[in-house]
Amino acid sequence: MTPDYQSIVQAVIDMDVRIVQTAGNGPHKITFPDGRSMLSMLKAAGIIVIHKCMAVRHAISAEKAGVDCISLGAYEYGGHTGDDEVTHWVSQPTAARKLKVPFLVAGATSVGSQLAAALAMGASGVEIGTGFMCTQECPIKQSMKDRIAAPETDERSTILLLRSVKNTGRFYKNELTKEVVKIESEAPGDFGKLATLMTGKRNYSSFHESGDPDDSAWTCGMAAGMISTIPTCREFMETMVAEAVQVIQQQSQHLVKAPGLSSRL
């Protein structure tokens, strides 16, 4: 059943929410019985609208429609990645050349050097999912956090699923997701054979009930490979920003000291 989006938007307005992120169909494409779109309703209330995209071409369309900011994911993203297989290394500087609105690097980010790189590529900041999952305040089971921060979790610990049904997403690699891969290879395009393994109920149980990280296909970014502790949100953010500042300062000094380069800067 389609949610009553207009009532949801009205509740957001009534609660004086100042920033809203949308995903999937552009908010200008979701129209209500009174003729207004989701985007026009949010904008009329003075709300900043960030739209999540997985391709620069979609970001350009969202910008033309009137959103205020883009959250730009790419191949490394934890969750639905789109089907283009373009990495941040290419999509972010491309976006910087083509977009006029601010954009955020979304996904696969958990350390300060990445924040520095995002700024260097033209982004206004980063959007983080897996990193905040692995903080003390996050209300998921400790066992899930422990799995993300475990020594055996590295940059190879995620896997792409559902490509055969054109809904590609990145998930933590476990025995269940390996079974999904096997089924997809044997019966490509048949989601019915995958449905019992890919239910939201299984995800909810892993995160909030059983805490079993091996009993569901749960989304996880490649940034998990760089996470080894479970800090508070404040500690996580302060560490990331401090490292980004240090990287920027150090690299600026290297550039200035490079023989024959300082005269051309």
DSSP 43-54: HHTT-EEEEEES
Is 234 part of any domain? no
**Would you write out the chain's pLDDT as a tens digit for each of its 265 residues?**
678 999 999 999 999 999 999 999 899 999 999 999 999 999 999 999 999 999 999 999 999 999 999 999 999 999 999 989 999 999 999 999 999 999 999 999 999 999 999 999 999 999 999 999 999 999 999 999 999 999 999 999 999 999 999 999 999 999 999 999 999 999 999 999 999 999 999 999 999 999 999 999 999 999 999 999 999 999 999 999 999 999 999 988 877 676 665 555 5
pLDDT of residue 173: 97
Whether 12 and 104 map to the same domain: the answer is yes
Of the residues 128, 154, 174, the one at which a domain ends: 128
Is 238 part of any domain? no
pLDDT of residue 262: 52
Whether 43 and 81 map to the same domain: the answer is yes
Whether 115 and 149 map to the same domain: the answer is no
Whether 76 and 169 map to the same domain: the answer is no
Is 34 part of any domain? yes
Q: Are 27 and 49 in contact (CB under 8 A)?
A: yes
Domain that holds residue 91: 5-128
222-248 burial: b if 16+ Cβ within 10 Å, else e = bbbbbbeebbeeeebeeebeebbeebb
CA distance 1 to 142: 33
Is 260 part of any domain? no
Can you tell me whether residue 28 is helix, strand or coil?
Answer: coil
Of the residues 128, 157, 191, the one at which a domain ends: 128
pLDDT of residue 26: 92
State the Cα angle at 5 between 196 and 206, rounded to 5°. Answer: 30
pLDDT of residue 221: 95
Is 219 part of any domain? yes
Whether 118 and 15 map to the same domain: the answer is yes
Can you tell me whether residue 111 is helix, strand or coil?
Answer: coil
Whether 99 and 34 map to the same domain: the answer is yes
pLDDT of residue 68: 98
Is 248 part of any domain? no
Count of structural domains within the chain: 2
Whether 113 and 159 map to the same domain: the answer is no
**Strand duo 169-172 + 158-161: pairing:** antiparallel
